Amino acid sequence: DQQVKQNSPSLSVQEGRISILNCDYTNSMFDYFLWYKKYPAEGPTFLISISSIKDKNEDGRFTVFLNKSAKHLSLHIVPSQPGDSAVYFCAASGGYALNFGKGTSLLVTP
């Protein structure tokens, strides 16, 4: 039973443009949400997070938006750079475990 869903397996964006990655969740008890980035042959690296009491969090080029009523969050990357090409995982915290989506593979082309 997938409680966190990333419905776009892949996304291609031109360098300099905005990348928008989406994530939906089903469990209303989740109270903290995170985005991780993963390069091949490396472990996931923490990118940005947001608490359920907020609706937006910014860190440089990365912004995460949370819509609790829709159980939806998104990650915006502006401007996108070729080095951002990686797999992005959305995760939701419930208890001690993180619940991950299947990931979205982002390709930023020059």
Partner 1 sequence: DAGVTQSPTHLIKTRGQQVTLRCSPKSGHDTVSWYQQALGQGPQFIFQYYEEEERQRGNFPDRFSGHQFPNYSSELNVNALLLGDSALYLCASSLTGANVLTFGAGSRLTVL
List interacting residues with partner 1 (CB under 8 A): 4, 6, 32, 34, 36, 41-46, 49, 89, 91, 93, 95-103
Retrieve residue 28's tokens. 């209303």
Q: How far apart are CA 84 and CA 17, in angstroms?
A: 12
Sequence-ordered alpha helix ranges (H) in 42-110 = none
Least Å from the CB of residue 22 to partner 1: 15
Cβ 64 to partner 1, closest distance in Å?
A: 13
Between 79 and 107, CB nearer to partner 1 = 107
CB of 100 to partner 1, least distance (A): 3
- B/e letters for 62-75, b = 16+ CB within 10 Å, e = fewer, are bbbbbeeeebebbb
Q: Which is nearer to partner 1, 75 or 100 (CB)?
A: 100
